[in-house]
Amino acid sequence: MVAVAAIHGVGSDEQAWERCDWLWQQPETTLAELCAGVRRIVVVAPHPDDEVLACGGLLCAAAGIGLQVKVVAVTDGEACYPGEAWWTPQRLRHARRGELRDALADLAIDAGSIVHLGIADGKVNAHETALEDWLWQTLREDDLVLAPWRFDGHPDHEAAGRAAWHASRAAGCARLEYPVWGWHWLDPAWAHMAWEQPRLLDISAVAARKRGAIAQFRTQTGDVPRLHAHPILPAHVLIRFYRNHEVYLA
């Protein structure tokens, strides 16, 4: 399928997603089932915060049972507030790296687990082949790759998702996709047409820790001084990631 996505405005209301019976009636999966035969989880994040928003519960639970976690920060998300006098790309790059480090610490994941690739924010598609090659050389057969949904609606997400899809196939390892902006533009009534084999993971045991980790991304929630633009993650976006379940696409 080809997604024609609109990720501006308030997007699909969370209450509409709550009424999406088709999705929430899917069988639940367990961490043990998702990670059967896996020794390492590699999460590919187009921007710092994507990995925690979409996968924070799984990552926290996996770290808790001793699974190795590797976070691939594809960009530093430095282009999120164009035109801001104080929050320049250079300042955002530094701040967002720190936010990612602090958020992962809340999930019991060490900063040494992060690999910063430093690809320019908004330009991942121009480096898609290089990203695919780097991932292919990095991945192992006993990895589980978590990557953005290839039709998520944001160019960086889709390029990172495609690169991870091809690299994981070449490496022979397991892969799951996660939606971020798909929750925003997709009509819940049509979710069954877009998402094949969704897997629901109950994260209620670590949901509070995930919410604490999300709060570390202060530049994105607007909890910083001298920011005049609307935050990237206002309340109506954040609520989609405060659920007690995470959804992964096989």
The one-character DSSP state at 39 is S
- pLDDT score of 28 more than 90: yes
Summarised one tens digit per residue, pLDDT across range 89-135 is 999 999 999 999 999 999 999 999 999 999 999 999 999 999 999 99
- Whether residue 157 contacts residue 172, with contact meaning beta carbons closer than 8 Å, is answered with no
The CATH code of the domain at 14-249 is: 3.40.50.10320
Residue 4 has pLDDT above 90, yes or no: no
Q: What is the pLDDT of residue 7?
A: 76
**Structural contact between residues 177 and 149, judged by C-beta atoms closer than 8 angstroms:** yes
In angstroms, the CA 140 to CA 172 distance is 8
In eight-state DSSP terms, residue 52 is H
Whether 138 shows a pLDDT value over 70: the answer reads yes
Q: Which residues pair with 165 in a beta bridge?
A: none
Tokens 């005049």 correspond to what residue?
228
pTM for this entry: 0.96
Q: What is the pLDDT of residues 60-98, one digit of tens each?
A: 999 999 999 999 999 999 999 999 999 999 999 999 999
The CB density around residue 203, as the number of other CB atoms within 10 Å, is 22
pLDDT of residue 174: 98
| pLDDT, tens digit, 9 for 90 and up, residues 151-167 | 999 999 999 999 999 99
